[in-house]
Structure 1
Amino acid sequence: MMLKIEKNVENDHSILSLNGEIDASNSVDLDQVIKEIIQGGAKNILVDCSGLEYISSAGLGVFMSYLEEFHEKNIRFVIFGLQEKVFQVFNILGLDQLMTIKPNKQEALEEIV
């Protein structure tokens, strides 16, 4: 299982691009990157999942584990570009009710203006 994580900063936004598959073995990498972004003082975090083929419950757990911290620190967190099969996983677990999920980058950016 390969996961490639890219971090970019555009204007005031930290953009994480996820490519490949997130499972129990590499979800710690995702966790580490999010932790670094928060420690860096980011207020807007966008996650580009257009290249994400699969996410396990461990990967979802990483996002879930930060929701409270995002709320407390007033960090805007938006996921976008989910492929249909990956979105279904979020949807089945009701995570689309807990997180802001947008179809594309344009709408994600509009969400944090």
Structure 2
Amino acid sequence: MTNNDIVPGFDDEKDESLKIKLQKIPEVEGCLVLYLTGYIDTYNSNYFQKRVAKAIEAGFIRLIFQCGGLNYVSSTGIGSFTAFLKSVKPRGGDLVLLEIQPKVYEVFQLLGFSQFFNIKDNLDDSIDFFRTGSSTEKVSVFPKIFACPICSKKLKAVKSGRFRCSECKTILAIDNSGQVFLG
């Protein structure tokens, strides 16, 4: 089964620096594993975003990124993952990052994004995460105390929406599940 069989037109564009192989998870609706090999930087992140956007448009909103073959992700690359999260969350989807190499995980941590993503060690755990239904949230996550992803100031959100960090003035958004995003 080719990528184009799963997502029509997926392989119309290719980039040697980042190879993506798709695997559909039939037992979970809208679930797709993307095996990433190579790296994601400023130059190929647009390619990466366009490929994944195609998958999301095709109805895949539960995305598992298999990152074991990913040896470098720049801040631009991490921005791509954040964009995917913003894209699938309103549709009831989510994403899981799988087998992140330590040096790649460090970049997520340095930028303060490690807490926004569901990070799993193996494919079974990732599939179970979606099978149990990530959309069944706890009763209420508010009020929520969290650290600003930019300056680490402790902030409190009483409801979802957009607001500004009292310390560094960064605009932040928090969704109904308590996920914090930039902008």
How does the TM-score come out when normalised to structure 2?
0.58
1:56 maps to amino acid: S
In the alignment, the residues of structure 2 paired with residue 70 and residue 94 of structure 1 have an alpha-carbon distance, to the nearest angstrom, of 20
Provide the residue aligned with 2:60 in structure 1.
Answer: 42
2:99 maps to amino acid: G
2:93 maps to amino acid: I
Q: Larger radius of gyration, structure 1 or 2?
A: 2
Provide the residue aligned with 2:18 in structure 1.
Answer: 3
In the alignment, the residues of structure 1 paired with residue 101 and residue 112 of structure 2 have an alpha-carbon distance, to the nearest angstrom, of 16
TM-superposed deviation, 1:17: 0.7
**1:112 aligned to which of 118, 130, 140:** 130
TM-superposed deviation, 1:18: 0.6
In the alignment, the residues of structure 1 paired with residue 84 and residue 62 of structure 2 have an alpha-carbon distance, to the nearest angstrom, of 13
Provide the residue aligned with 1:53 in structure 2.
Answer: 71
2:100 partner SS = coil
In the alignment, the residues of structure 2 paired with residue 70 and residue 99 of structure 1 have an alpha-carbon distance, to the nearest angstrom, of 13
TM-superposed deviation, 1:69: 2.0
In the alignment, the residues of structure 2 paired with residue 7 and residue 29 of structure 1 have an alpha-carbon distance, to the nearest angstrom, of 15
Q: How is 1:1-113 mapped onto 2 (pairs within 5 angstroms)?
A: 2-11=17-26, 12=28, 13-113=31-131
Q: Which runs of 5+ in 1 are unaligned?
A: none
In the alignment, the residues of structure 2 paired with residue 55 and residue 43 of structure 1 have an alpha-carbon distance, to the nearest angstrom, of 22
- Which of the two has greater helix per residue? 1
Structure 1 outlier segments of 4+, above 3 Å: none
2:66 maps to amino acid: D
TM-superposed deviation, 1:98: 1.0
In the alignment, the residues of structure 2 paired with residue 92 and residue 104 of structure 1 have an alpha-carbon distance, to the nearest angstrom, of 23
Q: What is the Cα-based RMSD across aligned positions, in Å?
A: 1.4
Q: Which runs of 5+ in 2 are unaligned?
A: 1-15, 132-183
TM-superposed deviation, 1:36: 0.6
Percent of aligned pairs with the same amino acid: 30
In the alignment, the residues of structure 1 paired with residue 20 and residue 43 of structure 2 have an alpha-carbon distance, to the nearest angstrom, of 14
In the alignment, the residues of structure 1 paired with residue 71 and residue 112 of structure 2 have an alpha-carbon distance, to the nearest angstrom, of 19
TM-superposed deviation, 1:5: 1.2
2:102 maps to amino acid: E
In the alignment, the residues of structure 2 paired with residue 34 and residue 75 of structure 1 have an alpha-carbon distance, to the nearest angstrom, of 14
- Deviations along 1:40-65, one digit per CA (max 9) or x if unpaired, are 01131110000000001111111112
